Structure 1
Amino acid sequence: MIEYEELRAEIDRYLMERFKYRKSLVWLTVDKIIVTRRNSRVDFYLRIRKVESCFPPDCLIIARLNFSKERIGHGTHFLSFLTGVARKYGFNYIGIECANIKSGAFAKKLGFYSIDEENYAIAVINLTSYFSME
């Protein structure tokens, strides 16, 4: 559980720096979910899964990601950051759960594959390649 707390702390530092918050935004639940407190700029819910489900094993699953200002690069920047974090902590996949039309289009743009009609995943190595070509 200590590595998950370190993961939580890294995400918290990232969001605090990116969105200029002074207080901690992020906490880790007992069932390995990293979530943000309610605030005006970002809403985030990340599941940590080491076992296979409809998503591959060793997957960080974005269940909710919402920024108050859209289409200015926050999502891409966050995914680039999350890719580095996933590599550091040994996660091989990143998933997007229950994607709506906007997040589905975002996933496809980044090269995620569709698991079913609303869930997407991508190998971290593929995202690493994507971000290194930008």
Structure 2
Amino acid sequence: MYEYEEIREAIDSYLMERFIYRRSLVRLTPDNIVTARRNSRIDLYLRIRRIESLFPPDCIIIARLGFSKERAGHGSHFVQFLAEIALKYGFKYIGLESVNEKSTYFARKLGFYSIDGSNYAVSVKNLLLYFQNRR
């Protein structure tokens, strides 16, 4: 099993446990995009990239992240989990793509910096320090 499939499996296990699903939710596309199948509680679309683009190299990019219950801590908890996965597999950044007003606030709260006004990134190291200091 190669690392992207291991990442997919870890995310799937996390979501199944946290949201009490019995069947797999997450799939990996041939171009290394992790998506959750359509359901009423979770909307997830991640890009896993080792090469530099608009985002820095070695970046897991959150293109879409939504939960039916907002402001319940699910987003922060997932980003913390994703940072731990990123560290394990040698990714250096987490990115947020095409943010709206709510996700801009979320990004700034977690220490992300603006790349171009609508896309944000943060080093995994800084993100983990943020969560460590919240304890």
Provide the TM-score with structure 2 as the length reference. Answer: 0.98
Partner Cα distance (1:35, 1:61) in 2: 12
- What does 1:1-134 correspond to in 2, within 5 Å? 2-134=2-134
SS in 2 for 1:94: strand
How far residue 117 of structure 1 moved from its aligned partner, in angstroms, is: 1.2
Amino acid corresponding to residue 106 of structure 1 in structure 2 = F
* Paired positions, count: 134
How far residue 79 of structure 1 moved from its aligned partner, in angstroms, is: 0.7
How far residue 73 of structure 1 moved from its aligned partner, in angstroms, is: 0.2
Partner Cα distance (1:117, 1:133) in 2: 27
Partner Cα distance (2:68, 2:116) in 1: 28
Q: 1:36-91, CA deviations, whole angstroms, 9 ceiling, x for partnerless residues?
A: 00001100000001010110000000000010000010001001100100000110
Partner Cα distance (2:123, 2:92) in 1: 6
Amino acid corresponding to residue 81 of structure 1 in structure 2 = F
How far residue 10 of structure 1 moved from its aligned partner, in angstroms, is: 0.1
Amino acid corresponding to residue 133 of structure 1 in structure 2 = N
**Aligned-pair Cα RMSD in Å:** 0.7
Amino acid corresponding to residue 35 of structure 1 in structure 2 = T
Provide the TM-score with structure 1 as the length reference. Answer: 0.98
Structure 1 runs (4+) greater than 2 angstroms displaced: none
Partner Cα distance (1:69, 1:115) in 2: 28
Q: 1:72-119, CA deviations, whole angstroms, 9 ceiling, x for partnerless residues?
A: 100010011001000001100000000011011100000100001100
Amino acid corresponding to residue 60 of structure 1 in structure 2 = I
Partner Cα distance (1:72, 1:7) in 2: 24
- Unpaired segments of 5 or more residues in structure 2? none
Partner Cα distance (2:32, 2:101) in 1: 27
- Unpaired segments of 5 or more residues in structure 1? none
Partner Cα distance (2:18, 2:99) in 1: 24
Percent of aligned pairs with the same residue? 66
